[in-house]
Structure 1
Amino acid sequence: MHKKILYLFITMLLIGCKEKLTKVVTYHDNGKIKEVHHINKDSVKQGEVIFYYPSGRVSYSTMYTDGKLKDTIYYYHDNDKKELEIKKFFLNDYLIYYEDYHREGITKRTGTLNIDNQKVGIWKNYDKDGNHHFTKEYKIIDGIEYTNQMWITLPTGDTLTEGVSIQYHFDKNKLQLTDSIYAFFQTEDSAFDEEDKEKTTVSVVLPKDYTQANFVPDFSNRAKDPGEKEGIPAIEIQSLKEHPNPMAVLQNPIDTTDYKKTVAFYWKPKRTGKDTIRGYFKEKLTLVDESKPIQLDKDQDSIITSYTKQIYFEFPVEVTKD
């Protein structure tokens, strides 16, 4: 009996302490409701917020907590079916999960946005029947949204690459200070057409000494051009075609002998703790104007033109003592 009275008292106390909210309504020029939300005594948004189209239909709705938007946001088409158009929710303070839809509620795209509304990571795209159509990988490079790789999905479930794409792997992400990581990179598809890709070279660019200066997450501290003096010191590892003994570098047998499009190397840590290996795979096409003789002097740039496509990567590692 005493427990029931105590529970009842606590419940009444909680109800009595519930914050009193004030309803706020704004209107479109045509007199229809534009927004409905609630504020506390400090004029801070609290609870459900609903926006309306001038037609009177719901535009989007969400929830605020202490003036902060951290809940799922639902956006709707302006029709009587109240069809969902976009859904967003916060994964953390920096990343937002995004999903939008074709008509009839069929998923169109899914992926992640950063706080600046830029696409990051893997985004999947679907056709109007809901079939997975293609996938894009996005990076933020120099502060700008950058399409890193793209794959098209066939009805069979197989994938085709679109533009340059690569396969790569590091054989471990945890190692001892005396150990090393084996890295393997290979072009899956070239950024250039059939004729030009035979003239391309591939390489991997890494910081020369990551303990002194690593590439930052958006790679903005890298040298933008080969001859540029600004940017941290870097090393460029060429394809196995340029290696005197490529089989000595390959850790495991591979199903290709095309060393021209393959880069493999060993990375040795220089300190313990958690680190990130950052770098980029580079495909380069060099064209020479054959109507002019090659001159190895300052005028050489006038007859040689280079085009590059870069795929950026980062790989977290953890290094322990022996």
Structure 2
Amino acid sequence: MYLEDEKLLTITQKNKKSILEALEKINSTFNELNIKVAYIKILNNLLKFNKGIENYFYSKKPGYNTIFQKRIDQNDDSEYLFTKIKASLKSDFNLEGFNSLEAEKFFNIIDEIESNILLLFKDEEVYEFNNYLINLINDKKLDDFIWLNTIYNLYKENQSIRNIVNDYRTFNSIEFSDLYKMYLFVTDYNINELLFIGESKVISDEYLLDVNKFFNYMYDLVEDMKNFVAKENKKDILSFDSKFNTYTNIKTPTKSEFISIVRKIFVVMRDLYENDNTKLLLDNVYPVLVKSFYAPLKNNVKIKYEFNEDFIFALEYIQIIIEVMSDTDE
């Protein structure tokens, strides 16, 4: 049993050192600022994840006691070192310093960390880690729960934290200018007059008659996706209809361009709603997630999420536009 304890602690301590090593390589691994921020936050939560593995494993051991827990905590300065390394990145953070060799080392480190975690979770009944997540819910540590539950579900499905960032890159394809082009087309050609007033079971006539409700929602969603890991200290953003003056150089698109933009947005929104990894990280669905945290959480069962009515409204609004405008484009 002693060797088993030491094996687990050896793996988690090695992982924490590797996380710090990976953090040091962030500036030379990526040029995209949002991707840098994404990986910094993911690595920070990966550090907490390994700490959670230690805490839960040892809390279930017969010989566990507070003195032993204090010894673990006192010998672990990884969180302090993480903060220190993160601060050291700031001077060069905005510079483009991609280095292919450093990038390769970074992803090799990530692969090794994740292989170690999969090894620890190979015999899942050893810890039933969902019980640790339930404790986070009971302690109302919801932000920690969001991330650690996301990471846990990734590893249960033999995926990688890279999936989170890759999904983000996909969903980040919508530009604010796309929304404004849509807005110009809808308003200049009075598209709302062609919409099916009274026909939708989800969208009320009030929404259809007020085009800004849709575009403000979409603007918030796109803003969220483009800054999905940097929202914590971000001031409230301006609404879409208050930023018109920043797009004065954009002309009303052709029907073909409009249809292309609408379809792209529809596909992104549909995929977003079906994707747990990214959905967990967006502020727009945060109230929905909070409601679901208090539902029973069982091993091998993901939390089920309620429908976001505004999201469904946006999907139907776009679908109606496609139906109205696509008659000669199919």
Bin of the TM-score, shorter chain as denominator length: under 0.3
Q: Which is strand-richer, 1 or 2?
A: 1
Length-normalised TM-score, structure 1: 0.22
Structure having the higher Rg: 1
